[in-house]
Amino acid sequence: MSKSNPYNDPRIDAADRALKGVENGNCNRTACPGPHAVWYNRSTKKFYCRNCALTIQQEENNFAARSGQRAFMLFPDALLFDSNDPRHQLKVQN
């Protein structure tokens, strides 16, 4: 990875990279160029789309269950969303 292109993804142009992890910008997860990053992760201090936020939280929950620890709530607002808000819709993958 270079500093000029930290994502090494030709699909993501410079403007999109500047929005990575920014509130209402693009999801911070490297593999996801999705918009509507409204889910704040208190560990990374970045914003994620709903799909990635739920995936990351589920991975944390699974790790905590396997290790016998209490899961850390990475996305404190994950249960508070408006299902009519398009930013909070789950993406349908084809």
pLDDT score of 30: 87
For residue 77, CA distances in Å to 11, 12, 56, 72, 93 come to 30, 28, 14, 13, 24
The Cα 92–Cα 94 span in angstroms is 6
pLDDT score of 94: 45
pLDDT score of 6: 55
Whether the per-residue pLDDT at 65 is higher than 80: the answer is yes
What is the tens place of the pLDDT at every residue in 6-60? Answer: 556 666 566 677 889 999 999 999 888 888 898 889 889 999 998 898 889 889 8
pLDDT range class, residue 2, cuts 50, 70, 90: very low
Please state the pTM of the whole predicted model.
0.67
The Cα 53–Cα 51 span in angstroms is 6
